Amino acid sequence: MNKKLNSGFSLIEAMVATAIIGIAFTGVFSLTIYSADTLQSAAKRQKMQIVANQIMEVIENDFANISHYNLSFTTCAAPTSGQTQNYHVNRYKWCRMLNDMLGTPRVGDVRSVAVVTTGTSNKVTVTLQGVGRQPEIVLKRVYE
């Protein structure tokens, strides 16, 4: 009697192998999406850090007007003809830069500069924060 040897894959084995490969590809695809989101968030955070540092440098160089730098960047109104001081011009420039980088502010976004004066010291806080999964930058310096 000759026994016929079956070699190769059955339909069930092929379906199981396809399912396993599909699950593996789903995992790899999810990881790729997660790393792309993380990379995009890191790039946005780095840009926000650069803007925050630029704001601090300008304020440090315009120390005589430090009290005028209590600013909010929720709306970008261009300075009027009577607002020729640097802090008005800088506010508009920073607001436009942030809007170009992060988009227009949404409800819950915080984009501001706060100056708190106590005695002879001035504490400057730059806060750039978005809602949800958006990055947050809080930069503080004290000037005597």
What's the pLDDT tens digit per position in 34-78? 999 889 888 888 888 998 999 999 988 888 888 888 888 888 888
pLDDT of 82 over the 90 cut: no
The residues near 66 (Cβ < 8 Å, ≥ 6 apart) are: 59, 115, 117, 122, 124, 143
* Per-residue confidence (pLDDT) for residue 123, from 0 to 100: 93
Residue 137 pLDDT class (50, 70, 90 cuts): confident
* Residues in contact with 102: Cβ distance below 8 Å, sequence separation at least 6, in sequence order: 44, 48, 109, 128, 130, 134
- Say yes or no to pLDDT of 23 above 90: yes
pLDDT at residue number 18: 92
Average pLDDT, the chain: 85
Confidence band, pLDDT 50/70/90 cuts, at residue 2: low
User: What pLDDT shows up at residue 44?
Assistant: 84
- Reply yes or no on whether the pLDDT at 134 is more than 80: no
